[in-house]
Structure 1
Amino acid sequence: HRNLEETIFKTNLEAAAALARQLRLRNLGGIIIIDFIDMKDPEHRRQVLRALERAMEKDYAKTSITGVSELGLVEMTRKRTRESLEHVLCEPCRFCHGRGSLKSPETVCYEVFREILREARAYESKSLLVLASQEVVDRLLDEESASVADLEEFIGASIQFQVEAMYTQEQFDVILL
């Protein structure tokens, strides 16, 4: 029984450090409720709360952490000071007038690169064809042309691009030729 309590305590300590890192990485803000694994020992609860506070001291954003509630939950607030990851990687959707979001052409280009690498590792081919929207193909041929050339050299195959008018900005296909 003592080993189980120690395991829970150590797991919660690791979770506190990981949680603080993820909050900073994802730049989450607002009211955050943390449900650690229930601990019977009040000293363990205090140490986990202190570990969370220490980990959050590294955070540039203003945070406030309350104690452990009667339900065993830790409540905290975090003020976001920069744009969220979604805001950086996406752009407002032009079809729903900004109520949703689309991946930016730059983000889709990197997804295309990862898919090309996956296909090249899985199948042998001398040439690939990428079908994508006009915005993505334009970016691949202009701003990302050096990356495309490096990728062609790395995989030992040529990469061709074709605009597919019916594709949304996020859609693409990689076809082996």
Structure 2
Amino acid sequence: LIIDQTEAMTTIDVNTGAYVGHRTLEETIYKTNLEAAQAIARQLRLRNLGGIIIIDFIDMEDEEHKRQVMRTLERALERDHARTSICEISSLGLVEMTRKRIRESLGQQLCEPCPVCSGRGRVKSVETVCLEVFREIMRSSRQFEASKLLVVASPGVVDRILDEQSTTVAELEELIGKTIRFQREDQYEQEQFDVVLL
């Protein structure tokens, strides 16, 4: 099982891995989905997962197999104290269900959002931050009176600007009629910068 929890929903992906214990592929898929249905119910309880949950079972051709997997999931969820609601398997092999949130999920209890990306799982590239710096320089130069601007940013961003964007900086200085200086700040994360008026 691959369980992925986001703000909007929890997705659970079922795959066979290296399991090929039965003679036919259809039988292997059926047995895997049956075992997964029981494991999913257990993991929902153990991890305190709630809200919208999408389960992606391995596609099954046999309608009876689909019914048996759904019955197994429903029976396994009967032991759950949280209220659940389940929809039938869709044509894409997806099961939509909801589970009442009783308390924070295990992931929320044990972890906190990443201070760098605020839980997004990604940070802006150096190139993107450089463009944001240039936009902020333009905005600040139009809004405020100052003869010089100081950009304080992470070493990676400052180095990229001075090494690869020096022509852009010179053109920007000419356009706004102000001197632009750059200062590396080791404590800044990649996305963090300030434009200071001097």
Relative to the length of structure 2, the TM-score reads 0.44
Q: Which has the larger radius of gyration?
A: 2
Higher helix share: 1
